[in-house]
Structure 1
Amino acid sequence: MDVLNFRALEQSDVKSLQRLFMESLSDLIRRERFEDADLLDEEVARLNTTIQDHFDDDQVQLYVVEQEGILIGAGALLPPNDIISGNLEIKRGAIELGSVYVLPRMQRQGVGHFLLEEMKREILARKQHVFYLDAGFPSAQAYWRKQLGEPLLTLDHYWGPGAPHMIWEVNIK
């Protein structure tokens, strides 16, 4: 694999990041065979809000992975979302590792693992050692189980019959 560069999102990256999110989500929804017509629009809107928050809110930091000048992955460190904070007792100042996406053509090549390791370094640099992560898509749940082990909490039937939502609490010390 060519050299990967991990860095904070810059304003000049926004259009490329929006394309990365759209391509990744479209592929994910197609592979997962989701029928919900609004799901793509809702997820893209949520991610666009995260992009804006990166520039407006000190608690939200978006990072990108680029290879040869092309954005191929992204992830955010932010306050835990409502699903996490509504189902777990979390400490004040807790961090969620979220909005993790890798271009479909770059998946299964170590980009996600690289991104995860770099994000862990960022968390430790903030003098934190615990982060939360949640996943609703089955393929994301399988990936995170492989990377992080079993979730702390599984919310059975969260998205409907047989469709759980999973939450991890990860100590990286």
Structure 2
Amino acid sequence: MGRITTMTTAGPLSIVPLTEDDISPVSELYKIAITDAFEREGLGHLQGDIQQEVESKIRMATASLNPPNSDTWFWVARIGGGVAGTISYAPCGEDIRVCTGNQLDAVGELGSLYVLPEYQGQGVGSALIAMLMVFLREQGITQFCLDSGYRRAQTRWLRKFGEPYVIVKDYWGPDSVHMVWLCTVS
């Protein structure tokens, strides 16, 4: 299912499939990284939304451990033995289906890309994406989609993947923008 070892500015990094033993550290990563993302967006006061997002990611990761009943793959990035980040690949989610009028329902989604704040900007996310590209090529998959309502993430995705497939204004409320990208596996 894909494993890589590489160097980042944070040190040696290995990316491996998620295991049962990873659920606890991954749960903690989601609590930290999702709270940080909301706070950087000026949304730290939305504690219920933060909790719901964390719980949703934990459920998805846990469900992926039962391959016969799951169509989701999860990987973890490890630095120094600890979990520093995650990425997943799954059928496209509800936000993508809604934002595109179901046009991308058959395209899988890069999701759950979260990196602990202390490792952000050090190549961990890029290494996770690179590993996912290898996995998708091995599966014969040529396209994937991703979405984001976080302005900070949108800036990175615009640089990495170019113009989005669709931009939905006021999706999360006034002055919010949600973007969906349709990308080619490279």
Same fold (TM over 0.5): yes
**Structure 1 vs Structure 2 CA RMSD:** 1.3
Matched, 1:134 2:147: yes
- 1:172: how far off? 1.9
Aligned partner of 1:26 in structure 2 is: 35
Does the C-alpha gap of structure 1 residues 10 and 136 become closer, same or farther in structure 2, counting only changes over 3 Å? same
Give distance in 2, aligned partners of 1:164 and 1:103.
24
In structure 2, which of residues 154, 158, 170 is the aligned counterpart of residue 145 of structure 1?
A: 158
Structure 2: any 5+ residue segments left out of the alignment? 1-8
Match of 1:89 in 2: 103
Give me the whole-angstrom Cα distance separating, in 1, the residues matched to 2:184 and 2:117: 29
CA distance in 2, matches of 1:46, 1:58: 15
Deviations 1:16-60 (A, max 9, x none): 001111111111122111132311111011101211221133311
Query: What is the TM-score when the length of structure 2 is the normalising length?
Result: 0.88
Alignment match, 1:105? 118
How high is the sequence identity, in percent, across the aligned residues?
Answer: 26
Q: How does 1:1-173 map to 2 (within 5 A)?
A: 1=9, 2-34=11-43, 35-56=45-66, 57-86=69-98, 87=100, 88-90=102-104, 92=106, 94-173=107-186
Unaligned runs of 5+ in 1: none
> Which string of whole-angstrom CA distances, capped at 9 and with x for unpartnered residues, describes residues 99-120 of structure 1?
1000000001111111111111
Q: Find the residue that maps to 1:28 and give its secondary structure.
A: helix
Paired positions, count: 172
User: Secondary structure at 1:165's aligned position in 2?
Assistant: strand
Which structure: greater strand fraction? 2
